[in-house]
């Protein structure tokens, strides 16, 4: 006998001919006809005790879209929909269609619903930028709606419950899940659900006026007549589907009771697995979700194949979860989700269908227990990967820049053949987060194209004529390249590098993350890797490790930061935003929305870095912000310096604020490292009034003099929005010594992560043999033949440097060590 995971069982239309004739006779086939209205009234009475009202819709995704849009209110630009990682893609898709950015948080390890602590922390951190909370009643469970009603009141936030699989679920009090809730609860009636029709959805709320508004939104926003007064779409349920829904309603209690008995039998008979903590009196079970033992998560595919061989279907809901899907990695704000990662990596679903019996559950459970026991007896086999010369942790712009440096010197084949391994979290090399920012690069189009132009590898050289290369080429001679254009080019370069590394004997592991690395007694590095798809972990030995994991703006730095003698967090509070958020795609829209009620908004930007000036440039370009004279204030400590190609060029414009130590001895550039370039340079030159330039009247610049700066404090107190551009800290990899103890790094104490040879430093400032770092926030400062002015203090982050001398420095050390090891 075969047991499919899901066996759709909608009512048979052939058994409801009289109802179909009734529809034909009415002449109404849509537009909230009599069958739809009858179904809504019957559902309200039977499922929700006559409380509130119901609205039938074309499908649950449409229901989510209109409910989210209504709950968010008029202003959606730049605002968030807070949702858990473990849910179906439709949840986040509906938020995107409603104009919101998904804000994805972790889940509770017991019931697999949104983590309450994470939700409340994000509501505090993001304030009214969270337009809607969008919890998911995971796998048909009954979540605590009273808590969400409290959050709605406490934070003034919209709430929409995604209860796609919960139509027929009973809460703790025995009422239909969602009964009387003050917000919209959205259910699915898809053919695969327990409440199976063909396609359709249902929205319930205790607020009948809310249902009336949503009904108008399903009909193009027509509240009266044919004039749109609300955001709208066509989301109405056809009359024929309503016939099926009424028939399903008549049997739903019996269907759910039967499925609940099957779930109880599974829970009694399955061995060595974990179950979702149950809530409510009865779940409308669509299938039986379980978690495999941690040690067998990597065998999930094999377990599924063994079940299939015995005629038993299985599934993996929801793996990958939202935070692991490419679209949402590009468009959403994703918080760390370790619990969702673990649950998704271990999840497996077993059949629950209307046709099954408890005896069938016994058959399936017996087979499953036997298969699981057999898998547990299979001895764990260590990966037989040879010892790598180098493990590259991170295949984004910095990690692939080192490969580019090798390719430009004709050493990529040699490097790959030495046995390198690249581990990258995303599904492809190259892009990282570079394409997710709304700003123009501080590197020219010529710099981006120099990575491939005339490259010894024809596959790379051809990228100049690739569509992504041509898109970047349009900006030759311009002040930088929009990063949304640069991202696809860097990704295309990464794809070619991926192929070349594999072609010459290297290993590329996309979809993998490196958890930590440990020094072995033999002097090698043993790094623990995890495959994100299923949680499988394994160790990789290598002679060296290159950390290219990028940088971030930690919240704890804000908590400790003082400006003008006051605590930034205490003084500014919920008016504070970090520059990384402001510069990201959607950042300008968030700022527009935050300032929408301000007639003459005041914005303070803190910092003297490139990101600070880039933030101001972006604000000045955002026409939707009504910026008057002095609307933006830059608070900075160090003098603002423009880049010049020669001292003569600087003097020709009357810029004299430099000396011999400010001139690079290699290139002759003035402020080669400290100077602003491209768009940022133009703005700085205007503010310094160089060569008769006129400052932008919308911008005021104030150099903070010390810890008792009353002017800085006054600007902070009067600001409607404060954007902190305090630089980036490295995402340093956890490093253990040969005894398994954590190694404290210089980066942990605010110092540079690497020395002048790109070697990672411990807390005492000593280089750790075999560990290298590159990229944003690594803290490398060019020296010697690499150039740079003697007066420079800080860190240099430049794609050109990484793709040339800095990357080549690491390549030479790795290949030199490899050659010595062979000798």
Residue 524 sits in the same domain as residue 404: yes
Cis preceding linkage at 151, omega within 30: no
Domain membership of residue 340 as a residue range: 254-377
Q: Residue 179, SS3?
A: coil
The residues near 648 (Cβ < 8 Å, ≥ 6 apart) are none
Which H/E stretch holds residue 669?
none
Residue 756 near residue 786 (C-beta atoms within 8 A):
no
Q: Which pLDDT belongs to residue 818?
A: 59
In a domain, 331, yes or no: yes
Which H/E stretch holds residue 184?
strand 184-188
Q: Which of 253, 286, 308 is the last residue of a domain?
A: 253
Residue 723 sits in the same domain as residue 734: no
Residue 273 sits in the same domain as residue 247: no
Residue 689 sits in the same domain as residue 818: no
Q: Which pLDDT belongs to residue 1?
A: 74
- Six-digit token pair at 759? 């070697």
Residue 259 sits in the same domain as residue 247: no
In a domain, 298, yes or no: yes
Residue 400 sits in the same domain as residue 511: yes
DSSP letters, 196-237, are: --SS-EEEEES-HHHHHHHHHHHBTTBSSTT-B-S---B-BP
Residue 350 sits in the same domain as residue 366: yes
Task: Kindly report the CATH number assigned to the domain that includes residue 42.
Answer: 3.40.640.10
Q: Residue 794, SS3?
A: coil
In a domain, 294, yes or no: yes
Q: Residue 529, SS3?
A: strand
In a domain, 788, yes or no: yes
Distance (Å, rounded) from C-alpha 154 to C-alpha 151? 5
The residues near 637 (Cβ < 8 Å, ≥ 6 apart) are 608, 703, 704
For 430, phi and psi rounded to 5 degrees?
110, -60
Give the CB-side neighbour count of residue 607, counting CA atoms within 13 A: 23
For 133, phi and psi rounded to 5 degrees?
-95, 135
Distance (Å, rounded) from C-alpha 393 to C-alpha 115? 30
Give the CB-side neighbour count of residue 591, counting CA atoms within 13 A: 36
The residues near 314 (Cβ < 8 Å, ≥ 6 apart) are 5, 303, 304, 307, 308, 348, 349, 350, 351
Q: Which pLDDT belongs to residue 703?
A: 93
Task: Kindly report the CATH number assigned to the domain that includes residue 407.
Answer: 3.50.50.60
Q: How many domains does the chain have?
A: 4
Residue 736 near residue 516 (C-beta atoms within 8 A):
yes
- Six-digit token pair at 423? 């581990």
Report H helices in 81-144. 89-97, 116-126
Residue 352 sits in the same domain as residue 437: no
In a domain, 420, yes or no: yes
**Number of Cβ within a 10 Å radius of residue 242:** 25
Q: Residue 527, SS3?
A: strand
Residue 492 near residue 443 (C-beta atoms within 8 A):
no
Distance (Å, rounded) from C-alpha 820 to C-alpha 823? 5
Query: For 253-301, what is each residue's pLDDT tens digit?
Result: 999 999 999 999 999 999 999 999 988 999 999 999 999 998 888 889 8
> Radius of gyration of the chain from Cα atoms?
30
Burial class (CB in 10 A: 0-12, 13-18, 19+), 105: buried
Average pLDDT, the chain: 92
Distance (Å, rounded) from C-alpha 336 to C-alpha 588? 24
Task: Kindly report the CATH number assigned to the domain that includes residue 297.
Answer: 3.90.1150.10
Burial letters 288-317, b for 16+ CB under 10 A, else e: bbbbbeeebbbbbeebbebbeeeebbbbbb
Which H/E stretch holds residue 508?
strand 507-510
Residue 271 sits in the same domain as residue 283: yes
Residue 231 sits in the same domain as residue 306: no
Q: Is the dihedral of CA 492, 496, 498, 499 positive or negative?
A: positive
CA 84 to chain centre: 12
Distance (Å, rounded) from C-alpha 341 to C-alpha 451? 35
Query: For 606-664, what is each residue's pLDDT tens digit?
Result: 998 889 999 999 999 998 899 999 999 999 999 999 999 999 999 999 999 999 999 99
Residue 339 sits in the same domain as residue 437: no
In a domain, 282, yes or no: yes
Residue 224 sits in the same domain as residue 79: yes
Q: Which pLDDT belongs to residue 777?
A: 83
Cis preceding linkage at 318, omega within 30: yes
**Number of Cβ within a 10 Å radius of residue 523:** 10
pTM of the model: 0.66
DSSP letters, 715-729, are: HHHH-SEEEE----E
Q: Which pLDDT belongs to residue 507?
A: 93
Query: CA torsion angle for 609, 613, 616, 621 (degrees, to 10)?
Result: -140
Longest Cα–Cα distance of the chain, Å, equals 95
- Six-digit token pair at 780? 């490398």
Q: Residue 475, SS3?
A: coil
In a domain, 498, yes or no: no
**Number of Cβ within a 10 Å radius of residue 462:** 13
User: Which residues of the chain are under the pLDDT cut of 50?
Assistant: 382, 384, 821-823
The residues near 565 (Cβ < 8 Å, ≥ 6 apart) are 706, 707, 708, 709, 713
- Six-digit token pair at 809? 């420095």
In a domain, 741, yes or no: yes
Q: Which of 253, 275, 299 is the last residue of a domain?
A: 253
Q: Which of 341, 358, 377 is the last residue of a domain?
A: 377
Q: Which pLDDT belongs to residue 550?
A: 87
């Amino acid at each position: 006998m075969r047991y499919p995971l899901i066996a759709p069982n909608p009512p048979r239309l052939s058994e409801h001919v009289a109802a179909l004739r009734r529809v034909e006779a009415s002449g109404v086939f849509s537009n909230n006809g009599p069958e739809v209205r009858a179904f809504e009234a019957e559902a309200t009475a039977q499922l929700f005790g006559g409380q509130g009202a119901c609205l039938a819709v074309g499908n649950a995704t449409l229901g989510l879209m209109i409910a989210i849009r209504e709950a968010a209110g008029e202003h959606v630009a730049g605002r968030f929909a807070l949702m858990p990682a473990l849910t179906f893609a439709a949840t986040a898709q509906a938020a995107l269609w409603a104009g919101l950015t998904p804000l994805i948080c972790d889940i509770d390890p017991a019931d697999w619903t949104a983590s309450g602590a994470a939700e409340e922390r994000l509501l505090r951190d993001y304030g009214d930028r969270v337009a809607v909370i969008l919890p998911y009643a995971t796998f048909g469970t009954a979540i605590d709606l009273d808590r969400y009603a409290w959050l709605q009141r406490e934070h003034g936030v919209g709430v929409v419950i995604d209860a796609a699989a919960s139509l027929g679920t009973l809460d703790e009090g025995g009422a239909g899940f969602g009964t009387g809730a003050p917000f919209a609860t959205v259910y699915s009636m898809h053919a695969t659900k327990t409440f199976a029709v063909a396609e359709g959805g249902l929205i319930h709320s205790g607020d009948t006026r809310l249902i009336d508004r949503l009904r108008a939104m399903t009909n193009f926003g027509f509240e009266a007549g044919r004039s749109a007064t609300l955001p709208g779409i066509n989301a109405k349920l056809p009359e024929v589907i309503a016939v099926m829904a009424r028939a399903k309603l008549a049997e739903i209690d019996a269907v759910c009771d039967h499925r609940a008995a099957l779930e109880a039998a599974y829970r009694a008979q399955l061995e060595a697995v974990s179950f979702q903590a149950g809530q409510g009196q009865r779940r409308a079970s669509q299938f039986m979700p379980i978690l495999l033992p941690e040690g067998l998560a990597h065998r999930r595919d094999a377990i599924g194949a063994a079940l299939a061989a015995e005629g038993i279907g299985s599934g993996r809901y929801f793996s990958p979860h939202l935070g692991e899907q490419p679209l949402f990695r590009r468009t959403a704000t994703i918080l760390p989700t370790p619990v969702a990662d673990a649950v998704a990596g271990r999840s497996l679903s077993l059949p629950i269908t209307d046709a099954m019996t408890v005896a069938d559950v016994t058959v399936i459970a017996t087979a499953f227990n036997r298969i699981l026991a057999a898998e547990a007896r299979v001895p764990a086999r260590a990966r037989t990967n040879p010892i790598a010369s180098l493990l590259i942790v991170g295949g984004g712009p910095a990690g692939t820049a080192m490969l580019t440096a090798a390719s430009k010197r004709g050493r990529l084949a040699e490097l790959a053949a030495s046995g390198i391994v690249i581990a990258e979290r995303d599904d492809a090399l190259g892009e990282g987060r570079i394409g997710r920012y709304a700003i123009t690069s501080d590197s020219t189009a010529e710099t981006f194209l120099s990575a491939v132009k005339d490259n010894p590898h024809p596959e790379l050289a051809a990228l100049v004529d690739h569509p992504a290369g041509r898109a970047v080429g349009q900006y030759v001679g311009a002040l930088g390249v929009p990063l949304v254009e640069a991202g696809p080019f860097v990704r295309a370069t990464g794809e070619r590098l991926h192929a070349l590394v594999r072609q010459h004997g290297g290993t590329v592991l996309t979809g993998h993350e490196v958890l930590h690395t440990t020094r072995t007694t033999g002097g090698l590095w043993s790094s623990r890797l995890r495959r994100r798809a299923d949680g499988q972990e394994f160790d990789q030995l290598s002679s060296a490790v290159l950390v290219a994991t990028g940088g971030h703006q930690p919240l704890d730095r804000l908590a400790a930061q003082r400006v003008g003698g006051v605590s930034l967090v205490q003084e500014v509070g919920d008016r504070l935003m970090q520059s990384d958020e402001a510069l990201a795609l959607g950042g300008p829209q968030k700022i527009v929305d935050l300032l929408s009620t301000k007639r003459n908004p005041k914005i303070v930007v803190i910092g003297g870095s490139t990101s600070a000036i880039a933030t101001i440039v972006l604000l000045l370009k955002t026409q939707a912000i009504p910026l008057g004279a002095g609307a933006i204030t830059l608070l900075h400590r160090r003098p603002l310096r423009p880049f010049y190609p020669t001292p003569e060029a600087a003097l020709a414009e009357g810029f004299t604020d430099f000396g011999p130590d400010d001139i690079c001895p290699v290139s002759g550039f003035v402020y080669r490292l400290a100077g602003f370039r491209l768009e940022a340079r133009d703005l700085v030159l205007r503010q310094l009034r160089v060569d008769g330039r006129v400052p932008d009247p919308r911008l005021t610049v104030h150099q903070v003099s010390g810890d008792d700066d009353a002017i800085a404090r006054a600007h902070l107190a009067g600001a409607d929005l404060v954007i902190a551009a305090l630089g980036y800290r490295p995402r340093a990899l956890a490093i253990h010594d040969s005894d398994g103890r954590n190694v404290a790094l210089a980066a942990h104490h605010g110092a540079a992560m690497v020395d002048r040879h790109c070697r990672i430093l411990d807390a005492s400032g000593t280089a750790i043999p075999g560990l290298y770092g590159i990229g944003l926030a690594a803290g490398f400062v060019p020296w010697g033949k690499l150039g740079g002015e003697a007066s420079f203090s800080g860190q240099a982050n430049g794609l050109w440097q990484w793709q040339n001398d800095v990357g080549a420095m690491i390549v030479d050390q790795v290949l030199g060590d490899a050659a010595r090891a062979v000798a």
